[in-house]
Each structure stands twice: as C-alpha cells, then as structure tokens.
Amino acid sequence: MGTVARKDRGLWPKMVKDFFGAENPFDWTDKFWLPENSVEVPSANVIENEKEFKLELSAPGFGKEDFKVDVEDGVLCISAEKEKSSEEEKENYRKKEFSYSSIRRSFTLPENVKEDKIDAKYENGILKIVLPKMEVMTKKPAKEIKVG
C-alpha cells in the first residue's frame, strides 16, 4: 500500500495567498472578493409609543454633516458618507493614505407618520430620529336612522 504525501507546490501559491488573501485570486466564490464589511448596514432600534416612533441608528465615526436623511414615497432613507485622506512628504519618501466609508438604510413608514415633522439628531455615534404620529381619529359609533 502506498503512502499519501502532499506535493510541495512551491513558493508561488504561498506568495499569492499572502498577497491576495486567497490561494486562487480568480475564484469568485472566495470570500476575499466579497468581504463582510464591504456593505455597511447599521444596526437600528425602533421604539414605538402612543405619540411617536423613535429610531436609533448605530453609526460611530461619522459627523452630523455626513448624514443625508430624506423621505420619498413613504420611505425613510438614511445615508452617510465619509472620506478621509492624509499626505506626508519627507526628504526620502512620500506617504499618501485615504479611506472611504458609507452606510445606507431604508425604512418603509407607516401611514400614520407625520412626514413633515420628522426630526433627526446625531450624538455619541447614534443617529436618533423621531417620527411623530398623526392623531388617530376614533370612529363614532354608527347611528341608526329611522325611516319614517
């Protein structure tokens, strides 16, 4: 009976894996091409009481000027983008770094939200949105009319 031995494939596959994070960089099923954090969907809490809905969106690292909040066709869209770059130049080298991050989340609003009264505030990494409810008209009980 023969023995099973692993064939040494040389230095090249190791270099490719070290550089690309995958042994075969052309394998599109590999998670390298679709990292988990490539699409940022922030966590959210929705709290409802008699007067309003409160939406809390976790978005640390952004400033209030980075956010865009709008309502169109009954859908609340929240997005934020942030770019950061730095450049350093010395006698023997030049270093330039940049980063870009963005988030986006949408919520279909209930019909009883006063869209023109929505308020948003950003503090301590949390975007807080208050969505006031319209006053619910209570139905009057049906009144029977006698036909004479």
CB distance 82 to 100 below 8 Å: yes
Helix H or strand E encompassing 16? helix 11-20
pLDDT in tens, 12-49: 666 656 665 555 555 544 444 444 444 478 899 999 99
How many residues in total does the chain contain?
148
pLDDT in tens, 71-101: 999 999 999 998 888 888 888 888 888 888 8
CB distance 56 to 47 below 8 Å: yes
Q: Which fold has domain 43-132?
A: Immunoglobulin-like (2.60.40)
Percent of the chain scoring above 90 in pLDDT: 45
What is the value of pTM for the model shown?
0.61
Query: Residue 116 has which token pair?
Result: 């023109």
Which strands form 94-108's sheet, in the order they lie side by side? 67-72, 75-89, 94-108
Q: Where in the chain are the domains?
A: 43-132
